[in-house]
Amino acid sequence: MVRLLYIIKSKISKICQYLRKEGCRTGKLKFN
């Protein structure tokens, strides 16, 4: 399960970087 959480966090971080132009806060709200 630890690996799964790590993969999910890495994916979210990548998406967060992709949405950084639009606003990383919005991306965090969607996933959290």
Q: How far apart are CA 30 and CA 27, in angstroms?
A: 5
Domain range summary for the chain, segments of one domain joined by +: 2-31
H helical segments located in the chain? 2-18, 24-31
Q: How far apart are CA 6 and CA 17, in angstroms?
A: 16
Q: How far apart are CA 23 and CA 17, in angstroms?
A: 9
Contacts of 26 (CB under 8 A, 6+ apart): 19
Residue-level pLDDT at 11: 92
Residue-level pLDDT at 23: 60
Q: How far apart are CA 21 and CA 26, in angstroms?
A: 11
Residue-level pLDDT at 10: 92
- Over residues 1-32, the pLDDT tens digits come to 789 989 999 998 888 777 776 665 555 555 54
Residue-level pLDDT at 32: 46
